Structure 1
Amino acid sequence: MEPHHRYGRSEVVDRAAHLLDEYGIADLTMRRLARELGLTPGALYWHFADKQELLGAVADRILEPAARPVADATWTARILAIGAALRDALLSSTDGAELVSATFASGRSAVLGRIVAQLVDAAGGAGFEPGTAELAARTVVYYVLGFTADEQSRLQWDAAGALTGTQSVWDSDPNGRFAFGLRLLVDGMSAQRQSGTQDGVDTGVAIPSA
């Protein structure tokens, strides 16, 4: 059997996700993954064109729980639920936010694309035009990624004993702080919805309530 046929694509992604969780994104290299699988680095390219495609597949594995549709809810409840689920998924793996941020920038995560589409649909339900709904959806994702990346960095520094004596309000009640920020975004969207302001231009017409 050819070396690259010893493992299916899903098995390779599983091992890569395990390496990420155990050692972090800095040590998730094609060379290390190949060594863990008992393959040559070149054999991995049978499954993945490059490292970015591999990282996108790992991101999809992490994000899948956050992509489940939120049904029978108001647009505000959907955005809050999707944002919370996305944060939970990112926190489930070491450096999850950093990994997903990289794949978001490169457009390599299909599952993250589905999550953005759900947020766009929710923003559309708030009365935003398609272009503005896309911007609103991505703003929510940027907030969740940024907050969670900071949160994971603080957890790592704390585990290393580097935060001793430097704790502040930013190191307490992360759930409350996250919910506050996400709610602030939703409230801002609601304010624009009521004022009729979109794309930074006051239309002078209030968007009708859904």
Structure 2
Amino acid sequence: MKGKIDRKQIIDGAIVLLEEIGIQDLSMRKLAEQLNVRASSLYWHVKNRSELLELLADRIIQDISIPEAGYPWDVQLQMIATDYRKVLLAYRDSTEILSLTPPATTNRVRLIESIYRIFANAHVSHKLIPSCASLYNNYVLSFVKDEIRLSQTNVNGMKENEEEKNIYFQSKLEEDFPFFIELNKYFHMRDSDEEFQFGLNILLEGFRNKVGKDL
């Protein structure tokens, strides 16, 4: 890719490199090598790594679909959250990138504006809308972050000694922690899709209790 390069090519290249090496090793130098250009060519379009991460975050958020206003407000929020989770799972280190960058780029502001508007149209008190939106966003980000962590734990073989640990727990802790022993089996039977919707439904029910109330 010798010669001219534009910002879109830089972001597309960064997405590919992110998938290969992860956020910790992502650098302007490695991106320049990936794109086969001089680092100075990148700095003409992106001033530093921090701005690159902001652009990556904005690119990730771009893939989230905003439902039509004809749906009920709570259904709209459910649809956005479901798509939000799907998008986050599609990009390596997505939750970390979003956590490290301010929501001040076009697509991120557009998402926030859409969520604010949904709450406003549901007659949630304006002073509560930012708090509701923050809870909503944090739920999705936190769930996906934990979901990824657990999947990586399983891939890395951290559960190989699970049977031995269960024997230890049952022999050493059953008397003092009966619920921990009894319910531990259900922890490993959880379905991520069902659990995500379960938590989301509880959150939406809480929001429904605030509709039309100035608290």
- Please indicate the TM-score interval, normalised by the length of the shorter structure: 0.7 to 0.9
Structure 1 residues 14 and 59, CA gap change in structure 2 (3 angstroms)? same
Gaps (5+ residues) in structure 2? 163-184
- 1:176 Cα offset (Å): 0.9
2:109 paired with 1:113: yes
- 1:6 Cα offset (Å): 2.4
Deviations 1:140-192 (A, max 9, x none): 01111111111112222222222434586267311111111111111001112
TM-score in terms of structure 2 length: 0.80
**% of aligned pairs identical?**
29
Answer yes or no: is the 8 Å Cα contact 1:62–1:96 preserved in 2. yes
Structure 1 residues 53 and 101, CA gap change in structure 2 (3 angstroms)? same
2:128 paired with 1:132: yes
- What pairs up with 1:1-210 in 2 under 5 angstroms? 6-103=4-101, 106-166=102-162, 169=187, 172-193=190-211, 196=213, 198=215
What is the count of residue pairs matched by the alignment?
193
TM-score in terms of structure 1 length: 0.82
Whole-Å separation in 2 of the counterparts to 1:70 and 1:164: 46
Deviations 1:58-78 (A, max 9, x none): 122222121434331001001
Gaps (5+ residues) in structure 1? 199-210
CA RMSD of aligned residues (A): 2.2
Structure 1 residues 67 and 112, CA gap change in structure 2 (3 angstroms)? farther
Structure 1 residues 12 and 74, CA gap change in structure 2 (3 angstroms)? same
Partner SS, residue 87 of structure 2: helix
2:45 aligned partner, one-letter code: H
Structure 1 residue ranges (4+ consecutive) displaced by more than 6 angstroms after TM superposition: none
Whole-Å separation in 1 of the counterparts to 2:211 and 2:131: 14
Larger Rg: 1 or 2?
2
Structure 1 residues 171 and 113, CA gap change in structure 2 (3 angstroms)? farther
Answer yes or no: is the 8 Å Cα contact 1:124–1:130 preserved in 2. yes
